[in-house]
Amino acid sequence: MKTILLSGNTALSYAVKQLDVDVISAYPITPQTTMVEKLSEYVANGELDAEFIPVESEHSALSSVLAASAAGARVFTSTSSQGLLLMHEIMFITAGLRLPVVMGIADRAVSAPINIWNDHSDIMAQRDAGWISFFAESAQESYDRTIQAYRIAEDENVHLPVNLNFDGFILTHTYEPVTPIDDELVLKYAPKRRRKLVLDPNNPMTFGGLGSPEYYFEAKYQAIKALEGSLKTIIEADKEYERISGRGYGLYNAYMTEGSDTILVSLGSVGGSIREIVRRMRGEGAKVGSLSLKLFRPFPAKELAEVLSKTKCVVVLDKASSPGTIGGPLFLEVQATLKSFDINVPAINIIAGLGGREIGPDDIRLMFRKGLKVVSDKKVDKLLDYVGVYL
Amino acid sequence: MPYKTLKDLPVEEYFGPGHRLCQGCGAGIIARLVTKVAGANTIIVNATGCVEVSTTFYPDTAWGLPYIHVAFENSAAVASGVRAAYNAMVRKGIVDKNPNVIVLAGDGGTADIGIQSLSGALERGDHILYICYDNEAYMNTGIQRSGATPYGAWTTTSPPGKLSPGQKTTKKDLVEIAVAHGIKYAATATVAYLIDAANKIEKALNTPGATFMHFLSPCTPGWRIDTANTIKVSRLAVQTALWPLYEVVDGEYITTVKVPKRLPVIEYLKIQGRFRHLLNKPEEVAKIQAYADKLAEKFGYGPISP
């Protein structure tokens, strides 16, 4: 198909249209709005044959798509920030009921102070809800991953909800050339199949019953195992997508990590800026590398460990905080990964970019310098540091 | 339609007798009646509450119909989602029949925590029947007051004391709230008048858009009544005009069970332990009587017969 100009938001909407989603339900919140505006247009024009439920809250948005999914429909919702926090309760239930709901998240800071700009505080607060969680770096990737998400979520071995994270404004509102794949190809890759366990009067079934201590743990255990096991499906889905479209993303983007002294680990759109700084610093003789993680849940610990074992210091960039503990959410994962796989590489944590604070070239250079200093000093002075905060 | 006697009701059962609701529970009677009238082509949505915990104790289920429970405050949104799914799937030829979608939610799940999602569904006019089984408190968690607890009632969080008569506020008028959304059908009902209720359920299901029914549902432990008195106390609620039976069709109020000679509210209060502390406080009983008198006037109930 020919290349068109789409923003992160409209790229997602375009994919949802091609996926022949049956039910969409969403509540407007900046910077997610243009995504649902576009979907409303598609439905109003008849370009997408779907029901659009204009709900009165995000809580109802997720509740209604959950229910539509239980009834057997292919569904989509999207939100951001406070809206995602309002969905928190229902996120656990979606995963617990094993429903293949797909949600777009325009990642945004969380109040207070109220702030509409990007960081990852909203999604990190949903870390343990049991969803598959992707991060994108571009509009093209948002589009491609949306198509992958349905194939993964609806896979019989997975049956779990998926959220697609793309940075508020930075990705949601930036227009980029996007090359979609053909409509028929989309539905061939992610076909709609009638699931066996649905709300159907011809085959009555009880959804959402009470799990007593004799049964709750087993249900929970199965959902946990399904999330762990989904990694295989995720890798296969990406490979197959690459085969049909020429584009695959893997679990991470590793750039100049071989033979590096320091790797900066990040999530989301900042990865591109980091790679550019890596390119420049390599030109200046600094042995730095970048690892931009694409999948946060299930956390690809083993695969990550392999890359990080080959460097001398790991710097983890968190665009979210976990107040009162030793580091940000991503750092905790990476540090646990290093220790669990007996990788004797020091790691430090940088928290930056909260509430849309710009992460510029100098900030990224500073992060690398902190890592390189650990290597030259052979010790960690400061486990957690903040870059770009002025107090 | 219309049903005239109990013999006219369908013989099919979709609500199993092995559920774990209390003896004399009003909600169990409601669930049985609703599923009978609605029939096999129906999907039940249930809010968290007594009915949910007592009928879906895994691996058992009392439901012979497709059933979904998600959470406490969102059952109207859940119903909207089921309806939207079927609308889309019927249109696209994925399934052939569009079922009834019925919500069963308690007064807490309706008048308090669920009122936002209810308002959303009513305003959108999604084709669902929302039934509130109102036992007038949070009974499942141990009899705490709700926005539907009547004035003067004892609950564990509205205890009568030197400074309090018990519940200090009057019930939220859920039917009025529902009607204010411009829905085409709303009604009250109770378990002492099953034929009246059955006809209303059928009417609601056959009315396009969102419909609402408010069912008074006695709770024997919460109301401190004998388990044999569920029907009696429901009948007294109607005969004292504390629970007038009416429907609102396209904005027009129609009294469906007429009470030419009313009973004084004391008859209703005195058989319930939750009002026991009021029995020697005539000034409090008078307030409840005045509340009933207003309702009697509004719905054309007759004078109190000595």
> Is pTM, for the whole model, over 0.95?
yes
A74 and A195 together in one domain: yes
| Contacts B124 to A, Cβ<8 Å | 53-54
B95 with A89: Cβ contact below 8 A: no
B143 contacts: CB under 8 Å, gap ≥ 6: B137, B155, B156, B219, B221, B222
Residues in chain A with pLDDT < 50? none
Among B78, B100, B103, the strongest candidate for a mutation testing the A interface, having the largest count of A CBs within 10 A, is B78
A264 and A201 together in one domain: no
**DSSP H helices in chain B:** 26-38, 50-55, 75-91, 107, 115-124, 174-179, 194-205, 220-223, 230-239, 265-269, 282-299
Please tell me which residue of chain B has the smallest CA distance to A203: B66
Distance, in Å, from the CA atom of A227 to the CA atom of A217, rounded to the nearest integer, reads 15
Percent of chain B at pLDDT > 90 equals 98
| Contacts A195 to B, Cβ<8 Å | none
Q: What is the pLDDT of residue B305?
A: 85
A256 and A200 together in one domain: no
Q: Per the domain annotation, does B304 fall within a domain?
A: no
Cα-flanking dihedrals φ and ψ of residue A148, to 5°? -60, -40
A178 and A276 together in one domain: no
Q: Per the domain annotation, does B136 fall within a domain?
A: yes
A188 and A239 together in one domain: yes
pLDDT tens digit string along B229-275? 999 999 999 999 999 999 999 999 999 999 999 999 999 999 999 99
A168 and A305 together in one domain: no
Domain coverage including residue A291: 252-387
As for how many domains chain A has, the answer is 2
Which residue from A171, A133, A125 is spatially nearest to A152, judged by alpha carbons? A133
A239 and A261 together in one domain: no
Cα-flanking dihedrals φ and ψ of residue A53, to 5°? -95, 110
Contact A132, A294 (CB under 8 A): no
What is the nearest CA distance from B220 to chain A, expressed in angstroms? 23
Choose one of A222, A245, A268: the last residue of a domain. A245
What is the nearest CA distance from B271 to chain A, expressed in angstroms? 34
B81 with A64: Cβ contact below 8 A: yes
B77 with A210: Cβ contact below 8 A: no
Contact B30, A175 (CB under 8 A): no
Cross-chain CB nearest to A67 (options B40, B59, B82): B82
A208 with B70: Cβ contact below 8 A: yes
Question: How many residue pairs from chains A and B have C-beta atoms closer than 8 A?
Answer: 165
Q: Is B135 on the interface with A (CB under 8 A)?
A: no
Q: What is the DSSP letter of B52?
A: H
Choose one of A215, A245, A275: the last residue of a domain. A245
| Portion 9-28 of B in contact with A at CB < 8 A | none
A215 with B123: Cβ contact below 8 A: no
B117 with A56: Cβ contact below 8 A: yes
Distance, in Å, from the CA atom of A122 to the CA atom of A85, rounded to the nearest integer, reads 7
What is the nearest CA distance from B201 to chain A, expressed in angstroms? 19
Please tell me which residue of chain A has the smallest CA distance to B46: A208
- Burial pattern B234-257, b for ≥16 Cβ within 10 A else e, equals bbbbbbbbbbbbbbbeeeeeeebb
A89 with B42: Cβ contact below 8 A: no
Q: Per the domain annotation, does B305 fall within a domain?
A: no
In this predicted structure, the answer to whether residue B1 has a pLDDT above a threshold of 70 is no
Among B19, B48, B65, B70, the strongest candidate for a mutation testing the A interface, having the largest count of A CBs within 10 A, is B70
A209 and A237 together in one domain: yes
B286 contacts: CB under 8 Å, gap ≥ 6: none
In this predicted structure, the answer to whether residue B306 has a pLDDT above a threshold of 80 is no
The CATH number that applies at residue B78 is 3.40.50.970
B56 with A212: Cβ contact below 8 A: no
The CATH number that applies at residue A86 is 3.40.50.970
The ipTM value here is 0.97
Among B86, B115, B127, the strongest candidate for a mutation testing the A interface, having the largest count of A CBs within 10 A, is B86
What is the nearest CA distance from B70 to chain A, expressed in angstroms? 6
Cross-chain CB nearest to A199 (options B68, B74, B94): B68
Tokens of A108: 């945004």
Cross-chain CB nearest to A64 (options B40, B78, B119): B78
Distance, in Å, from the CA atom of B229 to the CA atom of A169, rounded to the nearest integer, reads 62
Among A51, A86, A193, the strongest candidate for a mutation testing the B interface, having the largest count of B CBs within 10 A, is A51
Distance, in Å, from the CA atom of B118 to the CA atom of B177, rounded to the nearest integer, reads 10
Q: Is B41 on the interface with A (CB under 8 A)?
A: yes
pLDDT tens digit string along A131-159? 999 999 999 999 999 999 999 999 999 99
A208 and A314 together in one domain: no
A142 and A273 together in one domain: no
B81 with A23: Cβ contact below 8 A: yes
A232 and A259 together in one domain: no
B117 with A211: Cβ contact below 8 A: no
Structure-token match 């789409």, residue found: A6
B74 with A63: Cβ contact below 8 A: yes
Among B50, B89, B97, B140, the strongest candidate for a mutation testing the A interface, having the largest count of A CBs within 10 A, is B89
| A100 prior amide bond cis, ω within 30 | no
Q: What angle do CA A287, A120, A57 make, to 5 degrees?
A: 165
Cross-chain CB nearest to A194 (options B58, B63, B94): B94
B80 with A60: Cβ contact below 8 A: yes
Q: Per the domain annotation, does B35 fall within a domain?
A: yes
| Portion 209-248 of B in contact with A at CB < 8 A | none
Cα-flanking dihedrals φ and ψ of residue B69, to 5°? -120, 130
Q: Is B141 on the interface with A (CB under 8 A)?
A: no
The CATH number that applies at residue A270 is 3.40.50.920
As for how many domains chain B has, the answer is 1
Tokens of B126: 């999604």
Cross-chain CB nearest to B116 (options A49, A56, A69): A56
Task: Report the Cα A318 to chain-centroid distance in Å.
Answer: 14
Q: Per the domain annotation, does B48 fall within a domain?
A: yes
A25 with B84: Cβ contact below 8 A: yes
Supply the DSSP string of A217-275, one letter for each residue: HHHHHHHHHHHHHHHHHHHHHHHHHHHHHS----SEEEES-TT-SEEEEEETTHHHHHH
Q: Is B98 on the interface with A (CB under 8 A)?
A: no
Domain coverage including residue B155: 6-299
Average pLDDT for chain A: 98
Q: Per the domain annotation, does B274 fall within a domain?
A: yes
Q: What is the pLDDT of residue A1?
A: 81
A118 and A82 together in one domain: yes
A49 with B117: Cβ contact below 8 A: no
Choose one of A245, A261, A285: the last residue of a domain. A245
Q: What is the DSSP letter of B114?
A: T
